Chain A
Amino acid sequence: MKTPLPNGLDDLLVRARPPHGEPPDILRVLHAVHDLCGHIDAQLIPAIAHSQGVTEAEVAGVLSYYPSLNTQPVGRHRVQVCLGETCFANRCDRVIEAIHTKLGIDLGQTTCDGRFTLEPVSCVGNCAVSPSVRIDGELHGRVRPSDVPGLLDRYR
Chain B
Amino acid sequence: MNRIRLYLSNDTSSCAAGAERLAEAWRSRSDVELVRTSSRGAFFLEPMVERDSPDGRLAWCQVAPDDLPRILAGDGSVPVSTIPFIAKQTRHTFASFGATEPLSTEAYQAHGGLAGLRAAQQVSPAAIIQEIKTSRLRGRGGAAFPVWKKWEVAATTTADRKYVVANADEGDAGTYCDRMIMEGDPFRLIEGMLICGRAIGAQAGYVYCRQEYPTATAGMHAAIRAAEAAGWLEIDGRRFSIEVVSGAGSYVCGEETALLESLEGRRGVVRARPPHPAQSGLYGRPTIVSNVLTFATIPNILARGGAWHASMGTEGSRGTAVLQLGGRVKQPGLIEIPFGLTLREVLDQFGQGMADGARLKAVQVGGPLGSLFTDAQLDIPICFDAFAKADAILGHGGIVVFDDETDMLELSRHLMAFVADESCGKCVPCRIGSLRAREILETVQAGQATEADLALLTELGDTMKAASLCGLGARAPYPVLSALEQFPVEFRSRLRS
Q: Give the chain B neighbours of A123 by CB distance below 8 A.
A: 171-175, 212
Interface flags for B207-224 (1: CB within 8 Å of A; 0: not) read: 000011110100000000
Chain A 34-60 per-residue mask, 1 if CB under 8 angstroms from chain B, else 0? 000000000000000000000000100
Q: A91 to B414: give the CA distance in the assembly, Å.
A: 13
Q: Is the CB of A130 within 8 A of B212?
A: no
Q: B403 on the interface (CB 8 Å rule)? A: yes
Q: Which residues of chain A have C-beta atoms less than 8 A from B269's C-beta?
A: 65
Q: Does B251 contact A (CB under 8 A)?
A: yes
Given contacts A125-B170, A125-B175, A128-B13, whether A89 and B327 have CB atoms under 8 Å apart is yes
Q: Which residues of A contact B411 (CB under 8 A)?
A: 88
Q: Using known A-B contacts A68-B248, A122-B171, determine if residue A90 contacts B327 with beta carbons closer than 8 Å.
A: yes
Q: Bound complex: CA of A65 vs CA of B252, how far in Å?
A: 11
Q: Is the CB of A125 within 8 A of B266?
A: no
Q: How far is the CA of A87 from the CA of B326 in the complex (A)?
A: 9
A147 is an interface residue with CB less than 8 A from chain B: no
A104 at the interface (CB under 8 A from B): no
A66 to B247, CA, bound (A): 8
Smallest CB separation, B141 vs chain A (Å): 15
Is the C-beta of B277 less than 8 angstroms from some C-beta in chain A?
no
Q: B332: which of A23, A24, A127, A137 is its contact (CB, 8 Å)?
A: A127
A69 within 8 Å of B (CB atoms) = yes
B41, B44, B173, B214 — most chain A CB neighbours (10 Å)? B173
Q: B-facing mask of A72-116, CB < 8 A → 1, else 0?
A: 000000000001111111110000000000000000000000000
Whether, in the assembled complex, B46 has its beta carbon less than 8 Å from a beta carbon of chain A, the answer is: yes
Known contacts A67-B249, A69-B248; A128 and B43 CB within 8 A of each other: yes
A91 CA to B358 CA in the complex, in Å?
13
- Shortest distance between the CB of B271 and any CB in chain A (Å): 15
* Stretch of B382-390, B394-402, B430-438, B456-464 that contacts chain A: B394-402
B198 at the interface (CB under 8 A from A): no
From B179, B211, B264, contact of A68 by CB (8 A): B211
Once bound together, how far apart are the Cα atoms of A69 and B249, in whole Å? 8
Candidates B176, B403, B424; contact of A125 at CB < 8 Å? B176
Check if B248 sits within 8 Å of A27, measured CB to CB.
Answer: yes
Chain A nearest CB from B87 CB (Å) reads 18
> A93 — nearest CB in chain B belongs to which residue?
B410
The docked-state distance in angstroms from the alpha carbon of A24 to that of B41 is 40
A129 at the interface (CB under 8 A from B): yes
The answer to whether A85 touches B249 (Cβ under 8 A) is no
Are B173 and A84 closer than 8 Å at their CB atoms?
yes
A144 at the interface (CB under 8 A from B): no
Cross-interface CB contact of B414 among A62, A88, A125, cutoff 8 Å = A88
A90→B172 CA distance, assembly (Å): 17
Chain B residue contacts of A83, Cβ below 8 A: 173, 414, 418
Instruction: Let me know if B176 and A127 touch, CB within 8 A.
Output: yes
A112-143 CB mask vs B (1 if < 8 Å, else 0) is 00000000011111111110100001011110
Of all chain B residues, the one with the shortest Cβ separation from A139 is: B16
The reply to whether B401 and A67 contact each other, CB–CB distance below 8 Å, is no
Q: Smallest CB-CB separation from A28: which chain B residue?
A: B265
Q: Do A139 and B12 touch across chains, with their CB atoms under 8 A apart? A: yes
Known contacts A23-B283, A89-B328, A124-B212; is-contact A66 B250 (Cβ 8 Å)? yes
Q: Do B13 and A86 touch (CB < 8 A)?
A: no
Known A-B contacts A65-B267, A129-B46; A122 and B13 likewise in contact (beta carbons under 8 Å): no
- Residues of B near A128 (CB, < 8 A) are 13, 41, 43-44, 176, 324-326, 332-334
Among B17, B334, B400, point to the contact of A86 (Cβ < 8 A).
Answer: B400
From A30, which residue of chain B is reached at the shortest CB distance? B248
A25 at the interface (CB under 8 A from B): yes
Contact A62 B324 (CB under 8 A): no
Cβ of B368 within 8 Å of any chain A Cβ, yes or no, is yes
**Complex interface: chain A residues within 8 A of B214 (CB):** 137
* Interface presence of B246 (CB below 8 A): yes
Give Cα A97 to B424, complex, Å.
30
User: Of residues 248 to 302 in B, which have CB atoms within 8 Å of A's CB atoms?
Assistant: 248-251, 262, 264-269, 283
Considering the chains assembled together, what is the distance between the CA atoms of A124 and B332 in angstroms? 16
Q: At the interface, yes or no: A61 with Cβ under 8 Å from chain B?
A: yes
Nearest-CB residue, chain B, relative to A62: B267
| Partner among B17, B213, B268, B325 whose Cβ is within 8 Å of the Cβ of A129 | B17
Would you call A31 an interface residue if the criterion is a C-beta within 8 Å of the partner chain's C-beta atoms?
yes
> Quick check: B211 and A89 within 8 Å, CB to CB?
no
Interface string of B390-428 (1 = CB under 8 A from A): 000000001011110110000100110010011010000
Question: Chain B: which residue is nearest A119 at the CB level?
Answer: B249
Contact of A66 (CB < 8 Å), options: B13, B44, B249, B367 = B249
In the bound complex, CA of A89 to CA of B325 (Å) = 12
Known: A23-B283, A62-B265. A129 touches B174 (CB 8 A): no
A141 touches B173 (CB 8 A): no
Q: Which residue of B lies closest to A66 (CB)?
A: B248
B235 interface residue per 8 A CB criterion: no
> Can you list 25 A-B pairs, Cβ within 8 angstroms, ordered by A?
A23-B283, A24-B265, A26-B265, A61-B267, A66-B247, A66-B268, A68-B248, A85-B364, A85-B398, A85-B400, A86-B327, A87-B173, A88-B173, A88-B411, A89-B328, A122-B173, A125-B12, A125-B179, A125-B212, A125-B213, A127-B175, A128-B44, A128-B325, A129-B46, A139-B16
Top 6 closest pairs, chain A to chain B, by CB: A84-B173, A141-B16, A68-B249, A66-B248, A128-B43, A25-B265
Known: A65-B250, A141-B17. 19 other contacts (CB 8 A): A31-B248, A85-B367, A85-B400, A85-B415, A88-B411, A88-B414, A121-B212, A122-B171, A122-B249, A123-B212, A124-B12, A125-B12, A125-B13, A125-B170, A127-B327, A127-B400, A128-B333, A139-B16, A141-B16
